[in-house]
Chains A and B, each alone.
Chain A
Amino acid sequence: KAGVTQTPRYLIKTRGQQVTLSCSPISGHRSVSWYQQTPGQGLQFLFEYFSETQRNKGNFPGRFSGRQFSNSRSEMNVSTLELGDSALYLCASSLVGDEQFFGPGTRLTVL
């Protein structure tokens, strides 16, 4: 089985812009979760989608949003980028209540 893929792998944006990141889960996995990883805050949960519905949401501002398509692929969007949004964004897919498989991440740099 192909693993979780994320695109793009690297992204450079400027403050105020918006960005969309994409995640393709492992075939058959309906749950997709997003995490933000920074040196200061570690790995923080953003949100989880299951069957095109947001099932869980972490403590992030409304500038962070996401969606899931019928084929389980997911996108997350960050609007009005801030310098503090620079991070590694990780996507993970899983069967319900099982281990999570992570993608390689998208490294976002906000200038």
Chain B
Amino acid sequence: SQQGEEDPQALSIQEGENATMNCSYKTSINNLQWYRQNSGRGLVHLILIRSNEREKHSGRLRVTLDTSKKSSSLLITASRAADTASYFCATDATDTGNQFYFGTGTSLTVIP
């Protein structure tokens, strides 16, 4: 399976703290994406990082990609209660076009 795995499965932090979640995957990729999902709703795209990039920023989000270790991390700085959600990484495979494999997700709870 090419499914990614997020770590940890659940994370609980105080508002204002930073949250880091990791994603590992199994095969070569073109890009890796991070999504957020609020309870039972559709996914919201956060950031896309391509295989030739090592780090990317978007607002309070910082994503790193290490293709040699087949891993990525998502850092949310200065977390807010509104960041409470599940976070998923999704990877494509180099030979299957627009087919994405999602990880199992990290459930983040930010305590006000």
Q: Are B41 and A104 in contact (CB under 8 A)?
A: yes
Binding site secondary structure of chain A: strand
- Give the A-B contact count at a CB cut-off of 8 A: 64
Q: Quick one: closest A residue to B92, CB to CB? A: A97
Within 8 Å by CB of A56, from B35, B40, B42, B97, lies B97
* Chain A stretch 40-88: residues in CB contact (< 8 A) with chain B: 42-45, 48, 50, 55-56, 58, 88
CB B2 to nearest CB in A, in angstroms, measures 10
Q: What is the CA–CA distance of A45 and B96 in the complex, to the nearest angstrom?
A: 12
Interface size on B, residues (CB 8 A): 25
Contact B98 A94 (CB under 8 A): yes
List residues of chain B with CB under 8 Å of any chain A CB: 3, 30-31, 33, 35, 40-45, 48, 88, 90, 92, 96-105
User: A interface vs B, CB < 8 Å?
Assistant: 4, 31, 33, 35, 42-45, 48, 50, 55-56, 58, 88, 90, 92, 94, 96-105, 107
